[in-house]
Structure 1
Amino acid sequence: MNTKRRPRTLSPLKSYPGKSSGLRNQGSRDREPAWEIALSGDLGDKESDLVSRIVDLPRGSRGTIFFDSPGGSVYAGLTLASLIRLRKLNVAGVALGECSSAAILPFAACKHRFVTTYTTLLFHPIRWQSEDDVRFEEAAEWARHFKIMESDFDRLQAQLFGCEQSVLDQWTRPGKFVSGQELVDAGLAHLIDPFAEEDQWQMIEAR
């Protein structure tokens, strides 16, 4: 097992308001998102670009991240979620299509979470994927570490959502596709309808 190998998942970012510039009145200045980021595709493939973009954002600034990702590297998800919290970003996470597996971590880290009735989230335990040339000693050590990591990530995911771990356990084991409405019913997100005549963006701005 080399250092490049990471556990993979099939596929789960939070922030704090900053002052925006421009010719806006005081009432809208603190409510208009200053930036927008699209988080789509495999997290591992896009990790470098996403990390760079988040690091380049002003600390404590306000913005929106749009999610459509099946997940990927659990470490990539952890890194993105950590940066959102560490840099105190006031993020509205909007899951438009799929937000599954490792992508759930940065979504859960968002201060405000929005989903649609069509949003799909796959919850499941983290999974180990490795090359075939793993020595027995390496596999044994990785299995020991993996068991600890799995428990730690279960607790972290519940902490980010701000809910009891038992709420997520009913979805995570053995694994379940959860709809946006189910997430709303559990009190973990707000529902928006992109296809409604009313301006749904006002709901996001009003956070």
Structure 2
Amino acid sequence: MDQSQEPEGPLEIAIVGDLTDNESDLTEKLLGVEPGGECLIYFDSPGGSPYCAMSLMTLIRMRRIRATGIVTGECSSAALWPFAACERRIVTPYSVLLFHPMRWQSEENVGLSEAAEWARHFGQLEREMDDLLGELFGVSPELMAKWISPGRYVSGGEVAEAGMAELVRFNDLHKIGDMFNAAESDNHPQSNGRLKAHMPAEDRRAN
């Protein structure tokens, strides 16, 4: 095989483990997707820094990246925001998503006044990010509040039932890869829409 040839299909990115530990690498990979281009993002992450989550989410939207997010294992906490920013979202019956209030920590030597200001800032950030999460997923603030506080593990089936993602049966996952390859070979700018149209009706959920 000629190593100089471009790989077939959209760029694939794996968000695995803590977002904060992998922020530099994930940022570089997202910047490797041309503006308006397609990519697949596989999620198996417990979360991480909310600031890192905001940065990845912002890059996806600012560069108009047509990302398809697939929860291969866990997508929890801060990892929910880049997943919500994906144009298309896919889960399996075994996907797990944890919604909970933001958690923060600071250095032990932080001053009292600084800690008070940090708590104020984080409280405001939490409210705004919770609202944004519901907006990106296209669900009501009431549903987000029900899942976030005090915190709830949500299955792929529940997420799909709420209209936040498409549910694909485990034995049908190979069809996703086949459809991406087929759409890429068609070289059509609206390939993502055709992929959804070609999905079996029982496997589609509005996102």
What's the TM-score, normalizing by structure 1? Answer: 0.80
Matched, 1:136 2:138: no
Q: Within 2, Cα distance between the matches of 1:183 and 1:203?
A: 23
**1:58 aligned partner:** 34
**Aligned with 2:171: secondary structure?**
coil
Distance change (3 Å), C-alpha of 1:199 and 1:57? closer
Q: CA deviation at 1:166?
A: 1.3
Q: 5+ unaligned residues in a row in structure 1: which ranges?
A: 1-20, 23-31
Structure with greater proportional helix content: 2
Q: Classify 1:148/1:198 alpha carbon distance in 2 versus 1 (closer, same or farther; 3 Å).
A: closer
1:51-92 per-residue CA deviation (whole Å, 9 max, x = no partner) reads 111112110001210100000111111110110000001111
Structure 1 pair 154–62 and aligned structure 2 pair: CA distance change class (3 A): same
Alpha-carbon distance between aligned partners in 1 of 2:112 and 2:174, rounded to the nearest angstrom: 59
Q: Could you tell me whether the CA contact under 8 Å between 2:33 and 2:39 is conserved in 1?
A: no
Deviations 1:133-186 (A, max 9, x none): 121011111111111111111111112112221121110011000000000010
Q: With CA pairs under 8 Å and 6+ residues apart, which has the higher RCO, 1 or 2?
A: 1
Root mean square deviation, CA, Å: 1.9
- Give the aligned residue type for 1:157: L
- What is the match of residue 70 of structure 2? 94
The runs of at least 4 aligned residues of structure 1 exceeding 6 Å deviation read none
| Cα shift readout 1:3-35 (whole Å, capped 9, x = no counterpart) | xxxxxxxxxxxxxxxxxx97xxxxxxxxx8421
Structure 2 unaligned regions, length at least 5? 184-194, 197-207
* 2:175 aligned partner: 199
